Amino acid sequence: MQIDVFTSQRLQGNQLSVFTDARGLSDSEMQDLARETNLDETTFVIPRDPAVEVQEGVKVRIFTPEFEIPFAGHPTLGTATVLQTLRTRNGMVKASDASTSTIVLDLKVGKVPVSFREEADGLFGEMRIRSSFFSRL
């Protein structure tokens, strides 16, 4: 799925391609798909058992057309927003609770929580990261 991040308007902001089920894809296949999308970043969600996701977060890998990267802002927020929207649509989160919940992404730099709140122009996601993440980049 392709989305626009950092905007409330279609065809604006930063483009992002999100593969919501990358189970079974090899590293080279993910790289090939990222190269094919030709966007700055493409993310791959690797679903795990729900109990593991509660403890460890949702596993996500981020690729540019050239290589994998451990962290980037717009892919993290965009992927979390896609996952939050899917959770709401699938009844995993009640629509009334969707604006106050948090998703934890398990990235190469570690766990990154993204919290959501409803604003006048839509759902707003906010992430908090430790400064030590940047020493790992």
Decide if 41 is catalytic: yes
Q: From the DSSP assignment, how many helices (H) and strands (E) are in the chain?
A: 4, 8
Active-site annotation holder among 29, 41, 119, 126: 41
Could you give the CA distance from residue 137 to residue 126 in angstroms, rounded to a whole number? 21
Residue 81, Cβ density class (10 Å: 0-12 exposed, 13-18 middle, ≥19 buried): buried
Residues acting as catalytic residues: 41
